[in-house]
Amino acid sequence: MFGVAALFSVLTAILAWLGLVLGIIGIILGIVGLKMARRPGVTGRGVSIGGLVLSILAVLIGLGLAAGITTFVNNENAVDRLQTQVDNLRDKLD
C-alpha cells in the first residue's frame, strides 16, 4: 500500500517529498513483510515483493526528480530562461 501511494505521490512531482517518505517506509515494511512471509503457513510473499519493488521505484524516481530540480535551480541560465518565459506569458495575458 505504501509503495502505490509513494509512486503516485512521486509522479505528481508536487508531492514528491511525501512520496520519498512513503517510499522509505514502504521499503522498510516490505523487508519486514518478506521476513514474516518466511514463516510456515504465512502467505503474502508476492504482495511484499510488489510493495517493495514499487517503493524502491518511487524512491529512485523521487531522488532523480530531486537531483534534477536541484541541478536546474542551481543553473542560473536555466532559471533566467524560465523567468523570461513566465514574463512572456504574463505579458500575453495582460
Q: What is the pLDDT of residues 70-92, one digit of tens each?
A: 777 777 887 788 889 999 998 88
Number of domains in the chain: 1
**Alpha carbon distance 30, 90 (integer Å):** 47
- Cα torsion angle, 75, 77, 81, 83, sign: positive
pLDDT level of residue 56 (50, 70, 90 thresholds): very high
pLDDT level of residue 26 (50, 70, 90 thresholds): very high
**Alpha carbon distance 52, 48 (integer Å):** 6
Region 55-76: mean pLDDT is 85
Rg (CA), the chain: 19
3 contacts 30 by C-beta, under 8 angstroms: yes
Higher pLDDT, 59 or 76: 59
Cα within 13 Å of Cα(13), Cβ side: 5
pLDDT exceeds 80 at position 25: yes
User: Domain residues for 8?
Assistant: 2-93
